[in-house]
A and B are shown apart, each in its own frame.
Chain A
Amino acid sequence: MRRQILPALVAFCVLTVVVGLAYPLAVTGVAQVVFRERADGSLVRSGDTVVGSSLVGQGFTGAQYFHPRPSAAGDGYDTSASGASNLGPTNPDLVGAGGVVAERAAAYRAENRVPDDVAVPVDAVTASGSGLDPEISVANAGMQVERVAAARGMAVDEVRALVAEHTRARPLGVFGEVGVNVLELNVALDAAPGR
């Protein structure tokens, strides 16, 4: 074993320098030159101020804004505590009459005046995997349109057009799912002339 220690130490140190320092620094160098805006977090501006990242959700609560999905990251959309609820599929804290899904659904219905017999979209009552999901489904956005339009005194069709504009299609028509970017949509609403 003693004869193996020297090569182990040397190989460990060399590889630490090559793949632990040179590799990430080289990637950082190329990324900062070629993809600077992406590499620094795809920041979104409202006017001249940076208001967030197009990839990271925010916890909107005001009636004049579209609301994101429920979040299990800290107190909601806390970037220092990304993560999921990890509630099991049969956990009574999640499902059933006393679970958090029923609670969220009731709040969502009240807020958006959704009648009891109309089903709410599943993404509106479930927390995401990261707690930072930037998107909601088209169905979820559609149920919030009238509330947002009323709060802003905008025409419903105008808001609906903005939702359509900020709906991301499936790449190549097959990858993943369609989504509406909540922050970009809300920034666009603030910038719309008829707010």
Chain B
Amino acid sequence: MSGAAWAQLGILMGALAMSTPLLGSYIAKVFGGGSAPGDRIFAPVERTVLRICRVDPDAEQRWGVYALSLLAFSAVSVLGLYLLQRVQGGLPVNPTGAGGVAPLLSFNTAASFVTNTNWQNYAGETTMAHLTQMAGLAVANFTSAAMGLGVAIALVRGLTRRESRTIGNFWVDILKGCLRVLLPVAFAGALVLVASGAVQNLSAGTPVTTLEGAEQVIPGGPVASQESIKVLGTNGGGFFNANSAHPFENPTPVTNVVQMFLILCLPFALAWAFGLMAGSRRQGAAVLAAMVLLWAGSSLIAPAMESRAPLLAASATVDVARGPDSAGGNMEGKELRFGPEASGLFVATTTGTSTGAVDASHDSLTPLGGMVPLVNMMLGEVSPGGVGSGLYGMLVFAILAVFIAGLMVGRTPEYLGKKIETAEMKLVVVYILIVPVVVLGFAAVAVLWGPARDSISNPGPHGLSQVVYAYTSAANNNGSAFAGLSGNTDWYNITLGLAMLAGRFLLMVPVLAIAGSLARKPVVPPTAGTFPTGTATFALLLVAVVLVVVGLTYFPVLSLGPVVEHLMS
């Protein structure tokens, strides 16, 4: 990496080092049960809404009821978003005159946004009305992130409470997540983006005649507000087809880093909040360290890979070396203002979280550069993961790690003083197996069945990578794509939609069940034989478990896709 790229990475890490304890302790206070900053403003609003809902804010739920509330809210959200897309043509705030969206595409999009995936089988600028973007898609951006937050907090409650039947109240958690955590940061982020050039208006755009006499429409729309929550909520669904590569979504090299900061700030802060809620910063620090290690690893690999482009260079005496007047590198699908290194950092960041926003075309990444996002997603997105989903994913791996450590020394495993027993381990195994089954199962059918295979746009091993990437992205709720694949077909609209729903709710329900099961248990005091989990050793063990247990599942398919392609190039 160049010196400037190191400095850029350093500034991003410095900003995160400051925000993580601040946001982390704020989140711990908001969800901790005691008084929290902002109570005077938010508490009356929350109480009023809960009264209309006929929910007692002080009554907590058992895990099953919490899960039912979550599923009911998600079902209403999917239905609402589906209907809004279908009828948008007849609604106001539609200056571009977008018509109703087709049924299967509407289903796919609704499932996609409500599951925090934001896979997009449509081009935003031509398909979606402004009203759908803000009152439909952006709402799901907020609520899906708040749901992830709620589930993560519920799991932390399960780990830290003693002999409790309940794990919190879903309705209280989702309101707090939206109003107290996401909304203020999103508002501030939106103003930063608009000050840098992201558009924010309700117009259809400004038609202009270019210097050479051609017609061009300078697009309009509520872009900055959407963009801010798109990254903060680790959602990733762009206002425009080009997503964060579009100059109106991500206008400058500075906004590019601001977006990465917004993507990472809540997932890292949640690990800190976990430590505070567990009453031991060391426990939070160990989880945080594992997240940072995985993120930093991929953040160093992707920029290095994208700085080289031997095939481009060999095509026709092309200069791909970095020099004073050109950044060089693999510039196909990349914006000049970001260049290969900032784009590579964004690639690692957007897929280590469940974001899936892209500031460069992932399909055109170098073979190994493109393997970075694929592996990040396959690891279950825990580096540092989506809002909430990153923390609960990492905590599930932590339970697996103490189990494996327990097997090695022949003791009953414990995590935070909670005995890990058969019931929890069964749920952990379900959690870990669902995604690979969905990804590899659907991908196998899609490469064998002719009509599905017709969607592939690149020949050779890259074509396999496109299909595997699509299902990996959907089932891990990422949403980025090897976008040459034609996803807007009946097969892909349906199967990707199902993969997203499975990857979200079939994981959230076992997590809540683990939370419920752990909450009921007493806390055993640590003894000399207890495996300490607030240590650097444990952080390294956690990284190893993530890489070995999860990563190896996908080794064969990675060999046939990106690795073979790299050997060809």
Contacts and interface: CB of A to CB of B under 8 A. Distances in A.
Interface of A: 1, 4-12, 14-16, 18-21, 23-24, 26-28, 30-32, 34-35, 38-43, 46, 49-53, 55-62, 65, 69, 73, 77, 79-92, 94-97, 99, 101-102, 105-106, 116-123, 125-140, 142, 168, 170-179, 183, 186-187, 190
A35 B198 CA distance: 10
Interface string B313-332: 11111111001111111111
Interface in B102-161: 123, 125-126, 134-136, 138-139, 142-143
Nearest to B189: A27
B317 A119 contact: yes
Contacts of B482: 86, 88
22 contacts: A4-B72, A15-B139, A20-B134, A31-B224, A38-B194, A38-B199, A56-B247, A59-B214, A73-B242, A81-B125, A81-B241, A82-B246, A84-B242, A88-B462, A89-B370, A89-B565, A90-B460, A94-B364, A99-B315, A121-B318, A125-B315, A170-B253
B563 interface: no
A35 B217 CA distance: 21
A139 B323 contact: yes
Contact of B73 (A11, A90, A99): A11
Contacts of A83: 123, 241-242, 483
Nearest to B76: A8
A109 to B, nearest CB: 9
Given A8-B69, A43-B218, A105-B315, A130 B242 contact: yes
Nearest to A92: B459
Interface of B: 4-5, 7-8, 11, 49, 52-55, 68-69, 71-73, 75-77, 80, 123, 125-126, 134-136, 138-139, 142-143, 171, 174-175, 178-179, 182-183, 186-187, 190-191, 194-203, 205-206, 208-212, 214, 216-220, 222, 224-226, 228-229, 240-242, 245-248, 251-254, 256-257, 309, 311-320, 323-339, 342-343, 358-361, 363-367, 370, 457-460, 462, 465-466, 482-484, 565, 568-569
B248 A56 contact: yes
Contact of A87 (B320, B326, B332): B332
Given A89-B569, A92-B459, A136 B336 contact: yes
Given A10-B52, A128-B336, A140-B326, A4 B68 contact: yes
A129 to B, nearest CB: 3
